[in-house]
Amino acid sequence: MGRAWVYILECADDTYYTGSTNNLILRLAEHEAGEGGRYTSGRLPVTLVYLCEFATEHDAFLRERQIKGWSRRKKEALIRNDFDAPVGFSKTRSSSMDDGFLPRLANHPEPVEG
């Protein structure tokens, strides 16, 4: 058990990649070297645009899966730290703010801008 992170990368083709890791520096270096996975390796360079720390890898993984299900607009609101915007940005109306957007972010650091 230990620290873990969820991160969002902006790719050269203006898409977002969301991942989680327990070794942030290594994982970012892998992405930058084209060894971070098929998705990012074909979309270099990538820029870190969001970072959030968690106490456990499991918590980070759960948040990663949640964010991956979000619309682009909702991810951009998260990156901007705009907590009011996501209400209307959910893929389904029923999941709007009930997905834990505000409570999970309240105790985490500001997003990192690239």
Instruction: Give me the phi and psi of 16, to 5 degrees please.
Output: -115, 145
Indicate the pTM of the whole model: 0.75
pLDDT of 99 above 50? no
Residue 48 lies in a domain: yes
**What is the count of structural domains for the chain?**
1
pLDDT of 114 above 50? no
Residue 70 lies in a domain: yes
pLDDT of residue 82: 86
Residue 113 lies in a domain: no
Q: How confident is the model at residue 105 (pLDDT cuts 50, 70, 90)?
A: very low
pLDDT of 104 above 50? no
Residue 110 lies in a domain: no
Q: What is the CATH number of the domain that holds 98?
A: 3.40.1440
| Structural domain boundaries enclosing 46 | 4-105
Dmax of the chain from CA atoms? 40
Q: Residue 53 has which token pair?
A: 């720390």
User: In terms of pLDDT, which residue wins out, 95 or 17?
Assistant: 17
Q: Residue 47 has which token pair?
A: 């820029």
Task: Determine the straight-line distance between the first and last CA of the chain, rounded to whole angstroms.
Answer: 29
